[in-house]
């Protein structure tokens, strides 16, 4: 019965436990515009403060970053995603830090995490609600 007393929610692959042990958050930016990158940087600063870990950030095309996330090579991807992105079936795209419309589509600057990493997702969502990307 004591096994059931562990932390809840749980991370299937132990993302938050790994971050706490290694003191590193692996973040992929998905080729952001300069104003988006500034907002994403401020958000990553909040995650660093919340976890006590240092972020290692790299930039690549969204598809490559999301594939790396799905393969467990990244803890978080921050990019601009449409509300109906096909990646919704593979990763958890969280509430946006910022939004804009392009043509008839609504795009959100949002963080994406691996499905099932519920403790990590809860922490990221808390930081979004507590200040998101910080002041503009």
Q: How many domains does the chain have?
A: 1
Residue 19's domain comprises 13-129
Quick check: 78 pLDDT over 80?
yes
Q: What does the alpha-carbon distance between residue 99 and residue 29 come to, in Å, rounded to a whole number?
A: 16
Q: What does the alpha-carbon distance between residue 44 and residue 25 come to, in Å, rounded to a whole number?
A: 9
Quick check: 134 pLDDT over 60?
no
For 6-60, how does the pLDDT look when each residue is reduced to its tens digit (9 = 90+)? 555 777 889 999 999 999 999 999 999 999 999 999 999 999 999 999 999 999 9
Encoded tokens for 40: 């994403």
For 95-128, how does the pLDDT look when each residue is reduced to its tens digit (9 = 90+)? 999 999 988 889 999 999 999 999 999 999 999 9
Identify the CATH number of the domain in which residue 33 sits.
Answer: 3.40.190.10
120 located within any domain: yes
Four-residue CA torsion sign, 48, 64, 38, 131: negative
82 located within any domain: yes
């Amino acid at each position: 019965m004591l096994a059931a007393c562990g932390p809840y929610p749980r991370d299937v692959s132990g993302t938050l436990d790994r971050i706490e042990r290694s003191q590193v958050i692996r973040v992929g930016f998905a080729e952001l515009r300069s104003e988006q990158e500034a907002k994403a940087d401020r958000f990553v600063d909040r995650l660093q403060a919340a976890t006590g870990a240092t972020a290692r950030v790299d930039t690549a095309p969204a598809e490559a970053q999301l594939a790396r996330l799905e393969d467990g090579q990244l803890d978080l991807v921050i990019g601009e995603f449409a509300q109906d992105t096909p990646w919704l079936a593979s990763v958890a795209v969280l509430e946006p830090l910022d939004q804009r419309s392009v043509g008839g589509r609504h795009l959100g600057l949002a963080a994406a995490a691996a499905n099932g990493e519920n403790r990590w997702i809860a922490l990221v969502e808390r930081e979004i609600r507590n200040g998101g990307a910080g002041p503009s």
